[in-house]
Amino acid sequence: MRRYVVVGTGIAGLSACEAIREHDATGRITLVGDEAHPFYSRPGLAYLLTGSVPERGLWVRTPAEVEAIGLTRLHARAASLDPAARTLALEDGRTLAYDRLLLATGAASVPPSFPGAELRGVMQLDGLDQARALLRAARRGARAVVVGGGSTALEIVEGLHARGVHVHYFLRGDRYWSKVLDPVESSIVEDRLERDGVRLHRQTEVRAAVGRGGALEAVETADGERVPCTLLAVAVGIRPRLELARDAGIGVDRGIMVGETLATDAADVFAAGDVAQVLDPATGRAELDALWASALDMGRHAGLAMADAAVPYRKAVPMNVTRLAGLVTTVIGAVGGGKDPDLVTMTRGQSEGWDGRGATLAVDERHGPDRVRVMLDERAVAGALVMGSQLLSAPLVRLAAERTDVSPIRAELAALSPDAALARLIAFHDERHGGRAAAR
């Protein structure tokens, strides 16, 4: 009877357990995780903060479904891994022997490095416990400062704002999420935030957090300004939790290095999810994704490989849908790549695959809050961003995901106005995929 050990209770770990059980009815699956609450939607924490969903809505499996997997769950933290002996030591002293082991430990927020970071009231958002802490601290009328970038910073801004907190969002640079959005898109988001009552401070940086009796009272900016606040949220990026692998001598770079079976360079040790850095044979690049869909896919493929039912994992063109200042925003492929002074590393809900490369033509249009931007290289749609109305999202995502050869109309697109070029691109998609033309 094979012994499987899975470290990490996020969607990668869960997907792996389910895939293993599909192909191994009798193997023993032991799931180790340091979170008290397994199997919840981490992206859904944004909506817990705004009040759109209660905690009980976040569990992604019913108790019966978890029961059906047939696993032993240990609420514990892994301490060290011995690949030669095939054992995992836990912090509480127990040791687990394994035949196959998966590291699905995810990523953790880069901690703040300024003085005062240890004060009560300085917070981050990685999981349910911290979301609860943010909610406890979010009293109506209280003042909060948020620093950082990407979707996580905005989730905190919107969540606190929804609870009646006076939110001051500090941008170190000139605009929001310059790593992924272009200046037009940043301004759409910023305008909506300000219109809604969030205070934006550009070119503003926290130099120190100050407090009394161990509790936060204010932040001091690099310009010497003192901003009173009782809550300071920091979301400057995440780092894969790869210490177990690194300390065991397993190959790591920015994440744990894996190939198409999600196997590491240690026998019978696999990695999946935010912690894994997968080599894409098509591009020769190994990039990190901090995306729910990627983690789910990786976890599944790792589980299949562990159960001797391996299917090669092929990285999809990274895609995510998020909500920025109330606008549904779809991002796929290479749309970004600028420097971002608000992020040390990428945030959750982002991918290194979004860094723009080789784009030779941009087609973009904006109508009020609705924004479409398509990045084309010589052959295909390299990336696309659809903000607001999602009417054009499905066809553009399909063109980007399948890397459809649009070179027959490439020259035409370059010569048309943006509206006409988008129409031509959608028509091109419809011709290939038989979009049903219903008269309106």
Per the CB < 8 A criterion, the answer to whether 126 and 108 are in contact is yes
- Binding segment for another protein among 73-81, 88-96, 218-226, 393-401 (CB under 8 A)? 393-401
Q: How far apart are CA 134 and CA 351, in angstroms?
A: 26
- Binding segment for another protein among 127-135, 202-210, 255-263, 313-321 (CB under 8 A)? 313-321
Shortest gap between Cβ of 123 and another protein (angstroms)?
19
Shortest gap between Cβ of 396 and another protein (angstroms)?
10
List the alpha helices (DSSP H) in 179-337: 183-196, 243-247, 292-306
Q: Check residue 389 for interaction with another protein (CB under 8 A).
A: yes
Q: How far apart are CA 127 and CA 124, in angstroms?
A: 9
Q: Check residue 347 for interaction with another protein (CB under 8 A).
A: no
- Binding segment for another protein among 108-116, 130-138, 321-329, 351-359 (CB under 8 A)? 321-329
What is the H or E stretch that residue 356 is in?
none
Binding mask 144-173 toward another protein (x if CB under 8 A, else -) reads --------------xx-xx-----------
* Options 147, 273, 395, 406; binder of another protein; rule CB under 8 A: 395
Distance of alpha carbon 63 from the chain centroid: 26
Residue from 130, 127, 169, 176 nearest 151 by CA: 176
* Options 327, 359, 374, 381; binder of another protein; rule CB under 8 A: 327
Q: What tokens does 162 get?
A: 């929804």
Q: Check residue 68 for interaction with another protein (CB under 8 A).
A: no
Residues linked to residue 211 through DSSP beta bridges, in sequence order: 216
Smaller CB separation from another protein, 48 or 235? 48
The interface with another protein within residues 196-255 (CB under 8 A) comprises 196
Question: Reduced to 3 DSSP states, what percent helix, strand and coil does the chain have, rounded to the nearest 5?
Answer: 30, 30, 40
Amino acid at 387: M
- In the chain, count H helices and then E strands: 11, 28
Backbone angles phi, psi at 220, to 5 degrees: -110, 130
Backbone angles phi, psi at 408, to 5 degrees: -60, -30
Per the CB < 8 A criterion, the answer to whether 184 and 329 are in contact is no
* Options 44, 121, 333, 356; binder of another protein; rule CB under 8 A: 44
The interface with another protein within residues 6-25 (CB under 8 A) comprises 11
Shortest gap between Cβ of 388 and another protein (angstroms)?
6
Q: Check residue 422 for interaction with another protein (CB under 8 A).
A: yes
* Options 23, 50, 362, 409; binder of another protein; rule CB under 8 A: 50
Q: Which residues bind another protein (CB under 8 A)?
A: 11, 41, 43-44, 46-47, 50-54, 57-60, 62, 158-159, 161-162, 192, 196, 292-293, 316, 319, 321-323, 325-328, 330, 365, 367-370, 388-395, 419-420, 422-423, 426-427, 430, 435-440
